Amino acid sequence: MTPTILVSIWVPRLLRGLLLVVLLAFLLSPESFESLLKPLVQPNAPAIYNQGSLLTITLLHLRTVFLATVAATVIAVLLAILVTRPFGAEFLPLSRSLVNIGQTFPPVAVLALSVPAVGFGEKPTLIALFLYGLLPIFENTLTALTNLPRPVMEAAKGSGMTSIQRLLKVELPLSLPVIVGGIRLSVVIGLATATIGSTVAAKTLGEVIIAGLQSNNLAFVLQGGLIVGALAVLIYDALGAVEAMLARRAGLA
């Protein structure tokens, strides 16, 4: 291996490891970073978020995104399977245009409009994240299921597999890397969108940012934003590694 390849592989890995260590250190012991953030605030203002534990809020943030993504994955994959079977083929063109139309709904609008139906708190955020998460996963699953290599499909048919066996043993395993790619995209969108949920009283990191905006405290805004950003980068990379591993296993790469 040439030195440049070594550098291009190991430097990003080291940086990510460093990011993870800094993030964990900050969440477990935010006080030790106080002197770093102190210059950003007025002399008497707190530099570290003081209306709740940052670790708890981060975990709640992750839980909200996780729940919404799991629900979105189940529904989106089932829908994509349905519209690619002969029975559901009639729904295929419409489902494509619905995916397109759905993406034009702004997150704030979805959040605000679901409040009258489900009340304030975590629920409207879950609904908005669920709807936003659906689209990339559905789109990717659809692309994967409709672009499977023809020879493989014919071989599966020729070997006498039933349509359910073909789906479970051939189509889904081959589509898995692309489906994970969709999940990856929807998690990253969800992590950022969840912060907006705090405008309707959901417990997410948006709370820290909004508290900072209201009290003119740049340190709060910065720590809330950077935690979400770091989470997004780390999770995006981790799921990228999962995607690459699945692609290798499926023999696609």
Return residues touching other proteins (CB under 8 A).
40, 88, 90-91, 93-94, 96-98, 100-101, 103-109, 112-113, 115-117, 188, 191-193, 195-196, 199-200, 205-206, 209-210, 212-213, 218, 221-222, 224-226, 228-229, 232-233, 236
Q: How far apart are CA 132 and CA 68, in angstroms?
A: 9
Tell the smallest beta-carbon distance from residue 148 to other proteins (Å): 24
Q: Name the nearest CA neighbour of 98 among 74, 79, 111, 112.
A: 79
Residue 176 or 205 having the CB closest to other proteins: 205
Residue 90 or 154 having the CB closest to other proteins: 90
Residue 38 or 161 having the CB closest to other proteins: 38
Residue 37 or 156 having the CB closest to other proteins: 37
**Cβ(133)–Cβ(186) below 8 Å:** yes
- Residue 102 has what DSSP assignment? H
Q: Name the nearest CA neighbour of 207 among 32, 88, 58, 12.
A: 58
Tell the smallest beta-carbon distance from residue 232 to other proteins (Å): 4
Tell the smallest beta-carbon distance from residue 249 to other proteins (Å): 26
Tell the smallest beta-carbon distance from residue 222 to other proteins (Å): 6
**Cβ(209)–Cβ(139) below 8 Å:** no
Helical ranges in 106-217 per DSSP H: 107-118, 122-146, 150-158, 163-166, 172-196, 206-214
